[in-house]
Structure 1
Amino acid sequence: MTDTTSYVPPAVWQPAPSGGAFASINRPVAGPTHDKELPIGKHPLQLYSLGTPNGQKVTIMLEELLALGHAGAEYDAWLIRIQEGEQFSSGFVDVNPNSKIPALLDRSGEQPVRVFESGAILLYLAEKFGAFLPKDPAARTETLNWLFWQMASAPYVGGGFGHFYAYAPEKFEYAINRFAMETKRQLDVLDRRLAGQRYLAGSDYTIADIAVYPWYGGLVQNRLYSAAEFLSAQDYRHVNRWAEDIAARPAVRRGQRVNRIRGDEASQVPERHDASDLD
């Protein structure tokens, strides 16, 4: 380790400028910063999101449901520019008090239902439409095991490895090594699991795969932090096989384009209000 520091934590922490890509929106309190209502479109499901890995989980799920013929899964996808603080509007906070994308509002019933946290949205949609979640108790439990594994593990990849490797204003060897080690351990967990079966919960594609793919598929396919070489991603051959399998699904390709505002222009669909927006 080459990093040295003379920093000694004070008795009581006080906020200080942190720098980095998200410094302008980081704050130690919750709640709205400004009043603004969210837009409402014509479809039963209103999604407020951004094409990050967490956002992609939900748009992939919705496109998969539509591909199965579930017309009730038609949705409006509204862009939330998190680096401009749009997640702190009063309307967004009403849907998700944690001010994180994605957030879903289901207006198909007598009263709107809000759903926040990407894993909760996947589970809600799977139960609502009876798809991508096995009915067999053992298979259902295994699916939920991996869904909640992803929800618990990804903060180490995004908030830890991704932050210090890609976004922090300085490169800190200790922090990068710490989170790279954990990220590689997680990839090894997946690789061992996928060595003996096609998908995470067994032979069927489920919400577990939909949740895990945007993060770990993104890592091994070098779409996340451009870190595949750094992490020796080619070594995780079962994860790579699984990622290639999922990447070939038309609904996955469609879902990854929704609320996307980076990359080549042809892949960007900042908002989706009709299926033709993706054609």
Structure 2
Amino acid sequence: MIELHYWPTPNGHKITLFLEETGTPYTIKPVNIGKGEQFQPAFLAIAPNNRMPAVVDTAPADGGEPVSVFESGAILQYLAEKTGRFLPADLRGKYTVLEWLFWQMGGLGPMLGQNHHFNRYAPEKIPYAIDRYVNETRRLYGVLNKRLEGRAFIAGNDYTIADMAAYPWIVPHENQGMTLDDFPHLKAWFEAIRERPATQRAYALGDEIKGRFDLTTDEEARKILFGQGAKA
């Protein structure tokens, strides 16, 4: 059984996309990041960077003690290797997927996250920062659009963890100042993934989780959410 410590953010959605695609048994343990639950000792024991998601595999392949994994890219790779799904076994295919998984982890996610922050959440609108991250978002969309020309998915004809990693960061494209019509190959890819039944189940689950909680954000919650209230 996979215990998923989760909140419905782009990084959280990556993992439910995988679990819903594979039918892997899992339970969700919500981590309300607006209330600071990511700083609780029990969560830090499995996710020392105080970021969700994290997983605990209570039945690892080696038959030993439960295994915890943090960082969404590492979780996707772990689950792919555990299940034998969505990561090619051949050398070239595997490392093509991992290249693009790490591209998402090192570039697409962090840069689009900064776009979200300075456009929507920062208490002060800083034009230089907004322009910097919107422009970088556009560049990264262009990289992905070019990669998808002539391909159904990022690594080729097959859906993989590279697609699951990137897709949730494209979902809020309007909030990032992007228009998918400017990136036709990316748009076709995005729409194909959006229509997958597992994608729809994963996002419906996220909506259901959010519906259980008070999502009111006051100044203290904002400080917690953006790390200003975190204790070293």
**Fold shared, TM-score > 0.5 on shorter chain:** yes
Mapped partners of 1:242, 1:100: distance in 2: 28
User: Which ranges of 4 or more aligned residues in structure 1 deviate by more than 4 Å?
Assistant: none
C-alpha contact (below 8 Å) 2:148/2:185 kept by paired residues: yes
> How far is 1:270 from its partner?
4.6
Corresponding position of 1:61: 18
Contact 1:219 1:233 in 2 (8 A): no
Which residue of 2 is the match for residue 156 of structure 1? 111
Shift of 1:237: 1.0
Which one of 105, 116, 120 corresponds to residue 56 of structure 2?
Answer: 105
Determine the C-alpha separation between the residues in 1 that align with 2:162 and 2:203: 17
Pair 1:192-2:146 in alignment? yes
User: Is structure 2 residue 193 aligned with structure 1 residue 238?
Assistant: no
Q: CA-to-partner distance for each residue in 1:167-208, whole Å, 9 max, x for gaps?
A: 101211110001111000000000000011110000100000
Output the aligned Cα RMSD. Answer: 1.5
Distance apart, 1:232 and its partner CA: 3.3
User: What residue is the counterpart of 2:40 in the other structure?
Assistant: 89
Taking structure 2 as the reference length, the TM-score comes to: 0.86
Superposition map of 1:121-270 within 5 A: 121-153=75-107, 154-158=109-113, 160-216=114-170, 218-220=171-173, 222=174, 226-227=175-176, 230-258=177-205, 260=206, 267-270=207-210
Query: Partner residue of 2:230?
Result: none
Task: Tell me how many residue pairs correspond in the alignment.
Answer: 208
One-letter code of the match for 2:161?
I
Kindly provide the amino acid, as one letter, of the partner of residue 47 in structure 2. Answer: N
1-structure distance, mates of 2:178, 2:203: 23
| Counterpart for residue 21 of structure 1 | none
The 1:162/1:270 distance shift into structure 2, 3 A limit, reads: closer
Cα 1:219–1:233 change in 2 (3 A) is farther
Offset of residue 254 of structure 1: 0.9
Which residue does 1:22 correspond to in 2? none
Q: Does 1:47 align with 2:4?
A: yes
CA distance in 2, matches of 1:61, 1:231: 26
CA distance in 2, matches of 1:81, 1:114: 19
1:182 maps to a residue whose letter is: E
Question: Matched residues, percent identical?
Answer: 44
CA distance in 2, matches of 1:270, 1:125: 25
Larger radius of gyration: 1
Query: What amino acid is the match of 2:16?
Result: T
Instruction: Tell whether the 8 Å contact from 1:79 to 1:270 is kept in structure 2 after alignment.
Output: no
Q: Residues 87 and 94 of structure 2 are in contact (CA less than 8 Å); yes or no, is this contact kept in structure 1?
A: yes
Q: Quick one: distance in 2 between partners of 1:214 and 1:241?
A: 15
Moved more, 240-249 or 106-115: 106-115
Counterpart code for 1:205:
Y
Structure 2 alignment gaps of length 5 or more: 212-232
TM-score between the two structures when normalised by the length of structure 1: 0.72
Give the 3-state SS of the residue equivalent to 2:27 in structure 1.
Answer: strand
Give the gaps of 5 or more residues in structure 1. 1-43, 67-72, 261-266, 272-279
